[in-house]
Structure 1
């Protein structure tokens, strides 16, 4: 691996073709890299002056990805993993430096905070952001517990949309490509009224026929989503007010599931530390899948060579989102500015899922959710003449959601001695009602001890509270009655149990950093920060007791040293960081005993601790006026320190059967943390050529992610092998004084057609999602 590391040309803070992030002004040297300005510390600063591991992209750089959403950042930024979750609208799992939240249920808080125009998104739904109208994108790695609050133990992603220009203008893009892909984006700016009031209208449409072949005629993952937004900006004297309204609809098919059941056993690498009550030989393993044993092996068993979907039951969604964002900035004086952010978001989701991934009706679920959040933040930013600067603010957040679901499960998969397709649980399920609230006070100050040495100190005090109510229902119809999840929630389901609970927590998260500038263009820093992911309730648990028993916050103590350098008269930029994170009270799935008929229940408890350490390097070089080279490299060594737990009957195989509900003490610490590949990296050469009245650029991109596990027990069926992705694009720009009015791009992604798994789940049936294959397209952009 040392030779591999030496072979990378390390890439800088902008890692995509042609454009570095946030170019603010032309450099005197035509071969010097542009100045990059970010707001990672809640004030505008050059990225090379910020003692944080951060990567930034500007509007042109984002558009060069030729993608639909921020998943295209994966592989470009060291130690960043982004994957889609196929049970909701634009739903993602984001992992930074091995810190992530695996469960997308809305009672869990994401470990990587996503912010849009300063508004924190309280759920993973609708966070795969469309990229066309973004002005810039910042990815902050490591806990951001002072200025960005709870639930940023892994880091934060900040997206900022373009502001109204106040001048008449239209920017539009159309992409056509694989699977009849048709994407249309447009941004219209209207002339300002009295140089005070400006208006911008934006919209997008994304459609295709699906990237997964389905010979059974069912779901192929076809996309059908659109959105509209409007922004009004008022500038008067020292103040600016921006109000943005958004409406999004998603009626896409879900990414299809593939059956992963086996007729043998799948050994698992954890250790059993207890003794079963019945003398037997017990092996840590997933046992044979009942659907595979009782079904048709060719269709119902794992076949890694077959990448075709056979989903035939309903597998789609109907989701909506409305959002209001208000940003207000006011210069109180030459020394102080007031910045405020208000956000309101309301989403509804009707989701129909065919989990078994086969042509059978074996395990189908209907989920309907209603989520609403409201947040407000106000902060004072100083511009003092002395050696001290500070940011101080207050933050408030409140959310509520309801979940109702119904299942259709073949009872033969639950151990009932009946053939497949005869008896079903028709409409059983649960209802959950959840509220969460946070209030926080924070401050961070910078003290210039000398002109080259700066000390940063900060802290955040947070008060969290959550409450949940749950109801469990039995089957609404006899097991032989006809029922489809398209029927939704059937009236008259018998209530079997219910309960409610509430809990609250207080946490203080400090930060300290010391940075030194020994010479122009050089920054060295060392920092400590503490982040935490809030406690809460596990709405996915299988009993009232487990749903209403709270888990506590988890914590990451992060230590980092780094260097940032602009070298060779500004033609080479190299940034690097070493980090060591102590993960304590880690929230993980835990098996607990439960009454019949389930006997065990999976919930979330603070049962583990871990150590995560590694390094990151980024650099970019403008080697000539016709050649630029960008790349990145990340290394992560993530290991559990401790993980004592119980193994449930679905997680071991006994030669002599054990009584139903048997739990065996186990040590899960030998397991690898999920979504924590050891190596990530990218390399991107770009060639430029002037054609007189047009400009040509040709770009290649290589992305590598080493092996990783997608689920907690490290099943080999959930192991994602090392992946190399190869992309290429050719761009012709012409028109206007700078040849930038029109652009035509031919691009290809995943040119080697790599198709590893993207996820794996062991449930009543075992299933996976598969990565999409080769994609090509043509992009046409107009900017006037």
Structure 2
């Protein structure tokens, strides 16, 4: 039996391309009976060998992810260099993503992400509902460094592409059930139905259910539970041999309980003790009158459709159109104090929608390859929330004090891009590209402070008394940019490719939807665009008679005008107690980020392989001016560990008339700073994680049985937090020493059964 390299996760992970076709068999070398297969990719919109493509990306096939039992895209960060993926604080499905020190951790309206997320080539403008569960997926790709000259929206830090499976031309499908720790019950069904030679339809339905890792001791609800129902519908039509039309629609409903953080300190006023279990909480916001405007509700609903057309215009030309519309709506309860009292509670509503259109024209020949395109997006994002300071308001005014914020930020952007590769010889290729972008941002922000139980008028309290308006403005700015790219690659030998390149990333300026213009008038000007200049050299090699691959990338980036959001409490009446807060969106001056990334795969025997990955980063803020003082020595790059490592072992053997695959992997992350200002109580020290899987597939591939264990040493891993109390926080808000921490899942074990037809 020959091993299937598609089932070894990091063989795909060593890819350096923008799209990857996972290998299915093992190629034969001249001197051995087994070797790693040469992978064919479509990175630059044409088929070519993975090892010949000088673009940095890691990709994992759907089969590899299935063998590891990966639940959602955040698990990719365990094995992908220079990447951090986490659920945002106090959420189940809002994504915080960083690549090579570039990202955005605040999900408020208008805060465009530094890492672009794509679902079947459609850019998702907002992070809500972006922690995508892994089902019916063909592959997931993680592109490192600025992207923009080959497709889609320009992204300053990188991109993640979630690619679903194409429909089959034969009747096929699958049913999968999983049961695991904390009464996890996952059910996924897929089907593909051909309706004639040129038309086929299909779909997937998924339910993901799990009890909480902990308990809310006040409400009795679960903590860190999961309650998601999702489905996708798709259709493909081939009216001629040269035209493919693809339509898809997806819908996700997340009714998981509100997540509250763990308090490391006792309540300063209430005296509430520190709990013994880090996954438990005493948060009472969902039952308090402070969140009555949304009935203490916590839900996320997201949906969208895509229409794609691929038209082969002849031997060399291809035209592509991608039209899409998406929207999502969130009602959420944030309990900043994580206590039964209403010291610092917030009902929140996010409402987002977007429309995008992309056209591509591609030319491919032996000598020249060209990608040209046009991209347009019209996106509207809004957030409305009350910050209810119940105890402080009753002490100072005899009634709850509420700071309401309503912010809407509209983005209308268009761009044109082109990328040309010229093959001077069979060995030497030069690629040049560029992107011109015009981004218009419009903001409408209102903030007001109110007295009265039940929050602000926006959340249904018509009897609320208006104390003061702290912000009321509309603003608009348009940003223009040209971002170039150049890359030179050389085939040193038949098995070694070296390359070097420069690319520039751009993210338009934006407005703070929490900005208080009556306190700080400068917020009406917004902040300036970000720019990242990235230099990279790479070495890609195949050796040991085709049984080993090692790829190395070294990069250096100059990052200017980083957009860093935050919020701090303020004292509006001079009594020494913060009774409101303001946004602190700023441009940090300059940072330098450099590093080395290593990925490899080694096939020791026909049945035994090892996969490795590592990154070593040096991320340093060089200038950050606050009130004419450089505070760069007091600031850190967020969510970016300096070291990361991954080692996985995969063993395949015949067993019970099928194939048995054993996989064990170890991952390591260095110290992580959650925010730009270190806060030891929130920041995560270096940690290890160990996972293991056993998967059996029948000889006919009709049945799959799997057992998956994750975080087997039960590490306590901090993923996010709120810091409005002691422990090195930048400011205080509320009376209860309000610092809380969110954690990654504990040790879990699950068993899967899948039937395919």
Query: Residues 89 and 721 of structure 2 are in contact (CA less than 8 Å); yes or no, is this contact kept in structure 1?
Result: no
Which residue number in structure 2 is paired with residue 762 of structure 1?
A: 723
TM-score under structure 1 length normalisation: 0.86
Equivalent residue in structure 2 for 1:402, among 347, 362, 382: 382
For residue 585 of structure 2, give the secondary structure of its aligned residue in structure 1.
strand
The structure 2 residue matched to 1:298, chosen from 273, 292, 295, is 273
Query: Does the Cα contact within 8 Å between 2:374 and 2:414 map onto a contact in 1?
Result: yes
What secondary structure does 1:708 align onto? coil
Q: Is the contact between residue 539 and residue 547 of structure 1 (CA under 8 Å) also seen in structure 2?
A: no
1:384 correspondence with 2:384: no
1:67 aligns with 2:70: yes
SS at match of 1:368: strand
> Separation in 1 of the partners of 2:565 and 2:75?
29
Structure 2 matches for 1:514-593, cutoff 5 A? Answer: 514-543=488-517, 545=521, 547-589=523-565
Q: What is the DSSP-based 3-state SS (H/G/I as helix, E as strand, rest coil) of the residue aligned with 1:772?
A: coil
In structure 1, the residue corresponding to 2:407 is in which secondary structure?
strand
Partner of 1:266: none
State the partner residue of 1:79: 82
Give 3-state SS (helix, strand or coil) of 2:704's partner: strand
Q: Distance in 2 between matches of 1:410 and 1:26?
A: 65
Contact 2:251/2:301 (8 A) holds in 1: yes
Distance in 2 separating the partners of 1:540 and 1:227: 32
Which residue does 1:342 correspond to in 2? 323
Structure 2 SS opposite 1:518: strand
Q: Which residue of 2 aligns with 1:201?
A: 203
Give the equivalent residue in structure 2 for 1:693.
657
Query: Greater shift after overlay, 393-402 or 755-764?
Result: 755-764
Structure 1 residue 131, shift from structure 2 partner? 1.3
User: Aligned-pair distance for 1:728?
Assistant: 0.8
Contact 2:98 2:115 in 1 (8 A): yes
Are residue 467 (structure 1) and residue 467 (structure 2) matched?
Answer: no
Residue 684 of structure 2 aligns with which residue? 720
Shift in alpha-carbon separation, 1:151–1:443, aligned structure 2, 3 A:
closer
1:721 Cα shift? Answer: 0.8
Structure 1: distance between partners of 2:568 and 2:190: 53
Choose the corresponding residue for 1:442, options 417, 421, 436: 417
Question: Which SS does the other structure have where 1:298 is aligned?
Answer: coil
1:60 counterpart SS class = helix
Quick check: 1:143 aligned with 2:117? no
How many equivalent residue pairs? 710
> Do the aligned partners of 2:261 and 2:721 also contact (CA within 8 Å) in 1?
no
Change in CA separation of 1:67 and 1:24 when aligned onto 2, cut-off 3 Å: closer
CA 1:24–1:10: 2 relative to 1, 3 Å:
closer
Measured in 2, the distance between the counterparts of 1:471 and 1:139 equals 38
Paired residue for 2:254? 250
Alpha-carbon distance in structure 2 between the residues aligned to 1:689 and 1:717: 47
Q: Deviations over 1:757-777 (max 9, x none)?
A: 211222322222122211110
The 8 Å contact of residues 608 and 649 in structure 2, kept in 1 or not, is answered as: yes
CA separation of 1:312/1:31 partners in 2, compared to 1, >3 Å: closer, same or farther?
farther
1:91 paired to 2:100: no
Distance in 2 (alpha carbons) for counterparts of 1:709 and 1:735:
48
| Partner of residue 708, structure 2 | 747
Higher RCO structure (Cα 8 Å, ≥6 apart): 1
Deviations 1:349-399 (A, max 9, x none): 1112222112322211111222110101111111224x2211001100110
Once structures 1 and 2 are overlaid, which stretch shifts more, 532-541 or 504-513? 532-541
1:14 pairs with 2:13: yes
Query: In the TM superposition, what is the alpha-carbon distance from 1:295 to its structure 2 partner?
Result: 2.8
TM-score (ref. length: structure 2): 0.89
Residues 753, 246 of structure 1: CA spacing in aligned structure 2 closer, same or farther, 3 A cutoff?
same
Q: Kindly state the Cα deviation for residue 175 of structure 1 after the two structures are TM-superposed.
A: 1.1
Per-residue deviation, 1:25: 5.6
Judged with a 3 Å threshold, the aligned counterparts in structure 2 of structure 1 residues 766 and 592 are, in CA distance, closer, same or farther, namely: closer
Structure 1: unaligned runs, 5 residues or longer: 1-8, 263-291, 647-663
CA displacement 1:88-123 (0-9 Å, x = unmatched): 561111111111112111311110111111111101
**What is the rounded CA distance, in whole Å, between the counterparts of 2:449 and 2:363 in structure 1?**
59
In the alignment, which residue of structure 2 is the partner of 1:510?
A: 484
Indicate conservation of the 8 Å contact 1:176/1:778, yes or no.
yes
Q: Contact conserved, 1:366 with 1:485, CA < 8 A, in 2? A: no
* Match in the other structure for 1:235: 238
Among 692, 711, 715, which residue is 2:675 paired with? 711
Q: Deviations over 1:8-30 (max 9, x none)?
A: x99644389xxx96115652355
Give the distance between the partners of 2:522 and 2:682, measured in 1 at CA: 27
> Which of 211, 215, 232 in structure 1 is aligned with 2:213?
211
Distance 2:493 2:553 in 1: 19
CA distance in 1, matches of 2:257, 2:623: 40
* Cα drift, residue 584 of structure 1: 0.8
C-alpha RMSD of matched pairs (Å): 2.7
Change in CA separation of 1:637 and 1:297 when aligned onto 2, cut-off 3 Å:
same
Residues 57/540 of structure 1: CA separation in 2 closer, same or farther (3 Å cut): same
Q: Return 147-156 or 616-625, whichever deviates more.
A: 147-156
Counterparts of 1:592 and 1:256 in 2: how far apart (Å)?
Answer: 20
8 A Cα contact 1:232 1:242, kept in partner: yes
Name segments (4+ residues, structure 1) moved above 6 Å.
484-487, 590-595
Within a 5 Å distance, the mapping from 1:276-675 to structure 2 comes to: 292-296=267-271, 298-299=273-274, 306-314=278-286, 317-385=298-366, 387-412=367-392, 423-426=399-402, 428-475=403-450, 477-478=451-452, 481=453, 483=454, 488-491=459-462, 493=464, 494=466, 496=469, 497-543=471-517, 545=521, 547-589=523-565, 596-597=572-573, 601-646=582-627, 665=629, 667-675=631-639
Tell me the CA shift for residue 157 of structure 1: 0.9
